Chains A and B, each alone.
Chain A
């Protein structure tokens, strides 16, 4: 099996180049079929996302794949060549494993890329342009990606402020099902956080704003209820999570208010998210039992720590991918050795039979026992001659220069390539 990969990503090419070489979903099957119709390409798959375009082929050379990329998109190859990376064989395997595991992503650990690769593989399967070679790499890549996700923390924690808020809410309330959120001040940021919370299971959304119409508008987006700003205090105790982002220059919620809210809530915890600058909620509120307050800086700090955590987890993930590549290569090599062993046996067996046939007339007529003895003797000679070379082959297949050994053995025994 010989693999080649030609591609470009956010690391090597600006968006102007990436968009010029991207493939439309609808054209993918045709593109794949035209790719495998080229000389020297037996299998092909194309991954095209907004951050990368990659052409993976089973071929002894990457040139046809590179030519295809420029001719298909009608761009001169000189203009793109400096943005392209070209990989062969083992480097392809490593690259595919890393990309699937989201180690090569712009935001390390983001989960979409695996789905995109699975989709690209499915499209190639439907188009009939992938076989056992690319198939075995992809199957393994999906396993590796899952392993990286579960065994390391690269995707564990939120790396955006609005997701960090959801994650914190989960650490306080566990399941968010049936919880309610109140948004004070209809800002973009508040809306985004509320959207994430809603997706995480929050059932009720209350919106309040100084301009009531805006509150009504936003409440509609979330299928929630609008509350007039003056009645904020009558409703706020119903909310488990409060997101505040008004333009007020003073505290909208004071410590005194928060104390009365927690009394009304009979000590059920409440989570204040203050994303306003200047702040809407008195920081002293955080000192009250069962009240948790995070302002924008706190959330940013959580995100920063999470990113640091991801980076250190990524190092572990890389090591895991390395191990997987090594294991996969060794499996491939031992698979490659099997045909050689079979052919080696066949070659010598043919030799044996030909020799017996050729010398038949020199031999006196034999009774069945004698004939059987002759067969047994010649066969056992071949087995003895082959025993050591085969053991060595099996052994060496796992080593780095395994393919060289295989070639060498084929040469000295004159095993013809089929």
Chain B
């Protein structure tokens, strides 16, 4: 059942993808309402799918790669819906909907019916560590989207030749505020996530750090965001420079999230 729901969610998200593609190509904002409803429906299906999977496993449904992608997608959708409720930025959908679709698509393709839980992740720490990290990632994804929109809008304003984006994107102030607030939410989450990961490692192996690529990459990511927080709060950075750093931070998130699965290590979930 949860697989069917995952497929249905993908179908719903494809409406969102179509909306983004058509809107960019036609330079007009088309069927946003319909796609918003579709994404809400997709979000509900995917959330139920994850809950069903959890009850089937009787465990945190993050034991396999496809589950991780699905989880990330659902959090991305949630992050978008929260940001939309707060700011009513329709344009954000052009960035977010395709990403949600792609993540869910990967989840569908990588689906593996095996329900054995790798022993290395059998611990109650999974209920603390992974949700914190993933929620943090979702917030940082919105931070990334806000920063990207900021850079595009800033370029439009500086160049004085206005394209579709100028009309459709929100003001610089709102873009900056969006990425600032989502950073303020995301950073504490990943910080706590890393701390809980270290504690988990200690309880599992008696050491705070495993020789794991993902742990190193995550730490590097955390340093980038620490730097960003520092510059934002202390040095009064805003706008363009802050946006570049936020984008660098998110690239690092992607590398550590996707990369680790392929380079191997504790987080690759392969036996």
Binding site for B on A (CB under 8 A): 153, 156-157, 168, 170-175, 266-269, 286, 289-290, 292, 294, 298, 301-302, 305
Contacts and interface: CB of A to CB of B under 8 A. Distances in A.
Interface string B160-183: 111000110011111001000000
A333 B174 CA distance: 50
A289 B170 CA distance: 19
B239 interface: yes
B171 A289 contact: no
Given A171-B157, A302-B162, A305-B162, A269 B170 contact: no
B241 A172 contact: no
Nearest to B160: A298
B238 interface: yes
B104 interface: no
B86 interface: no
A292 B157 contact: yes
Q: Of residues A157, A171, A290, which shows the largest number of chain B Cβ atoms within 10 Å of its Cβ?
A: A171
Contacts of B237: 267
B240 interface: yes
B238 A171 contact: no
Nearest to A287: B158
Contact of B173 (A153, A174, A292, A301): A174
Given A173-B173, A290-B239, A153 B167 contact: yes
Contacts, number: 51
A171 B166 contact: yes
Nearest to B240: A289
B236 interface: yes
A292 B177 CA distance: 18
A24 B157 CA distance: 46
B108 interface: no
B221 interface: no
B93 interface: no
Nearest to A316: B28
Interface of B: 153, 157-158, 160-162, 166-167, 170-174, 177, 236-241
A172 B172 contact: yes
A171 B241 contact: no
Contacts of A157: 167
A269 B162 contact: no
22 contacts: A156-B167, A168-B157, A171-B172, A172-B157, A174-B172, A174-B173, A266-B236, A267-B236, A267-B237, A267-B238, A269-B173, A289-B239, A289-B241, A290-B238, A290-B239, A292-B157, A298-B160, A301-B160, A302-B160, A302-B162, A305-B161, A305-B162
A262 to B, nearest CB: 10
B215 to A, nearest CB: 35
A294 B160 CA distance: 8
Contacts of B240: 289-290
B26 to A, nearest CB: 12
B219 to A, nearest CB: 29
Contacts of A301: 160-161
Nearest to A266: B236
A239 B112 CA distance: 60
Contacts of A294: 160
A57 to B, nearest CB: 40
Contacts of A305: 161-162
A269 B172 contact: yes
Contacts of A302: 160, 162
Contacts of B158: 286, 292
Given A290-B239, A292-B158, 17 more contacts: A171-B153, A172-B157, A172-B171, A172-B172, A172-B173, A173-B173, A174-B171, A174-B173, A174-B177, A267-B238, A268-B238, A290-B238, A301-B160, A301-B161, A302-B162, A305-B161, A305-B162
A174 B89 CA distance: 12
A171 B171 contact: yes
A301 B161 CA distance: 8
Nearest to A301: B160
Given A168-B157, A174-B173, A301-B160, A269 B236 contact: no
Given A267-B237, A269-B239, A289-B240, A170 B160 contact: no
Contacts of B173: 172-175, 269
Given A267-B237, A289-B241, A174 B160 contact: no
A172 B166 CA distance: 11
Nearest to B238: A267
Nearest to B164: A309
A298 B161 CA distance: 9
Contacts of B238: 267-269, 290
